[in-house]
Structure 1
């Protein structure tokens, strides 16, 4: 069984670390399998299969630490890893805030079976993935105006991980993923435009059909044909659901404990202040079923739990692991993410923004004249001041009606002001890890024609 093999590997890593002189240590082992298929012009373009087991070790000596990783799981490699990590730790700078969790803090639930993160169905064959890719390509090409499909893809992966530490923690679980995507093109030469559609699910039975995904890619592409530049001025802007999550993502990055501890965040003084309009909240729920961002424990073995990050518009807390929590004098929020070759760092999982009472179309109808943003091109975002500038493309709206596609525009503002003015639609997709609807903002600056 993969889980037992990975558990044995982490225990071996910890034993070797102790023997090499580590005062404490944690270890992670990951086994993964993945298959991806790409097709183009009715032919198989690329087929890849990957299988690997990787291991990582962090050792602590006093207030010094070091991390090492390897893709070889032989006893010799494990022993060499432990020796190298201990040597590196003795030379590392001191950090007074590092350290494993107290045993009393550790999660009691050590697996994720209740969260349904691994599809019990048989793994799809390469032929199944190839069929999906061809179906997506054919559906995109069937849309009038599509000149070609740049690529259609289907993939599948399954990963098992196990973590253990000298404080007594030992736990692991399995994840699976199934995805289909297509990129369509309309026009030729300088008139060429492209767009895409993609869907991913934990359970393949929840995945939309390849035909629907391909058709959506084609329809989006054709809708963007023959774009113009947007008008210059201050206008309402609607961030389409596909990209609206990025705006909330800037807020989440600004409240990350690492940025706060360094004083390098535009929200460093924002705790307890209004960061969103009244009535809007952001809730993190790591226990949603069949969602990619769910997990029963974090990268330091602490039990995860739902928490309200923004409550009725007011920021209630930072996103912390043990080290950043100690530095800020606060408890960890059980948000540690652990890499194979890096120490734990804070990271947010599943979040949901309060949805509004109106549909996307109703918000557009009320815009008057403005811009719908469907994609970004480059960005200049100052993480310390919140100044925001991005190249955009999308659709121009007049009298509440979509008039024509646009590109080569730039929007600018400041995240402090932008986020306090958002008006959410009710079109968020509930299967996503970040559930964020389309967002309307008033009065941003647009630079265009």
Structure 2
């Protein structure tokens, strides 16, 4: 089946779902259909460990009836299933609570035909899926590069994958459009040491276009070098110290801010930033921007999950919070306009979400910030989280490297870092190592005065 054939099939499915919903008694309805094929291979010790191919179609229907809504989904696309889905959704909606803010976009709000064209965004490289032997070769090359790093005792795994996916969204307000995506990835996990002294680390990259990927050798070597650097890890001292979030994990800090400005949290009153619209939330001069239309980026999209045209916007400008992230329902609850930020799957209604967010980079290199911190912690990986969404209190497990006299002294593990997000974000100093190709582009961030619990 060609890409164009797939698109027309998905469009027919969504049209049929909406017609069935109307026939079942729905006031309004929207439907989403997705199709995809995914290939992946995993190798270990120079041999194929696992190979998988998955393909299929998923469909979802949302119906709205008198301010009540319900969603159903299926993977069977027979006419009988479509009719049953519509009847079941309408029956569920009749039992749902009334929400006067629920409803489709007005036709005047919808993206125009020209705005739904995903061509300029280059979300699909137009290439056929690679054959399994080609993916196998990529994974083997990544594993070999990791094993070639002195000090690596074994490669836990190496993998390569490729995905083609297409989505179509249609609604009873007249919207109907879709687009395709491609994705390619390579990763490797290496191990150093033995027994209780074993340490591991990894490297991996994914791109929309295969030609934009680093080579398997680069990825495998980086996994090996990161792993060897962790030899002899131990707990750090306990106390209040500056912490440098490496760019690998710095985005987690900003993700907490994004969660706090999400319209759903604000409407519930469960955001620690719920009263800070127009107030300073970042250090002076910092911007936090969103651009859902960046070419060749995996989170880009020409329209949102409710058919509104996406556009760049400033979430934080010159350190001040400019607005919430809103879909139609949360915008209506808050008396505002949607920011065209609806995201959705086949089994759930729209909700607010972001794509391609970038934080302003600084001027200093990470190494210069490490020299400035004197004594403290560089965090390169995190696990677990205890975040109070209402107060911003923050506690997470971490691992990385201890710094003495402005130089990395030894690797650390099994420690906890804690603080309050409001204070942490206001004290950040950004490095100049802004990464590319990520949906959340955040440089390394130095935060003063956090609590480290180690030995």
Q: Which runs of 4+ in 1 moved over 6 A?
A: none
2:233 matches 1:241: no
2:323 matches 1:323: no
2:170 matches 1:164: yes
2:86 matches 1:82: yes
2:106 matches 1:102: yes
The total of aligned residue pairs comes to: 449
In structure 2, the residue matched to 1:409 is 415
In structure 2, the residue matched to 1:346 is 352
SS in 2 for 1:366: helix
Q: Equivalent of 1:24, from 25, 28, 48?
A: 28
TM-score by length of 2: 0.98
What RMSD, in angstroms, separates the aligned Cα atoms of the two structures? 0.7
TM-superposed CA distance for 1:91, in Å, is 1.1
CA contact (8 A) 1:12 1:78 kept: yes
TM-superposed CA distance for 1:307, in Å, is 0.4
List runs of 5+ in structure 1 lacking aligned partners. none
2:399 matches 1:393: yes
2:229 matches 1:223: yes
Deviates more, 1:291-300 or 1:227-236: 227-236
TM-superposed CA distance for 1:391, in Å, is 1.2
TM-superposed CA distance for 1:111, in Å, is 2.7
In structure 2, the residue matched to 1:263 is 269
2:449 matches 1:443: yes
Deviates more, 1:224-233 or 1:160-169: 224-233
In structure 1, the residue matched to 2:54 is 50
- Residues 302-350 of structure 1 show CA distances to partners (whole Å, capped at 9, x for unaligned) of 0111000001111110000000000000000100001101100000111
List runs of 5+ in structure 2 lacking aligned partners. none
- Residues 365-411 of structure 1 show CA distances to partners (whole Å, capped at 9, x for unaligned) of 21111110001122111111100011111001111111110111111
In structure 2, the residue matched to 1:283 is 289
In structure 2, the residue matched to 1:141 is 147
Structure 1 CA distance, aligned partners of 2:343 and 2:250? 24
In structure 1, the residue matched to 2:37 is 33
CA contact (8 A) 1:110 1:170 kept: no
TM-superposed CA distance for 1:122, in Å, is 2.9
Structure 2 CA distance, aligned partners of 1:14 and 1:378? 42
TM-score by length of 1: 0.99
TM-superposed CA distance for 1:121, in Å, is 2.5
Structure 2 CA distance, aligned partners of 1:417 and 1:311? 18
Q: Equivalent of 1:65, from 63, 66, 69?
A: 69
Structure 1 CA distance, aligned partners of 2:77 and 2:40? 25
Structure 1 CA distance, aligned partners of 2:262 and 2:128? 39
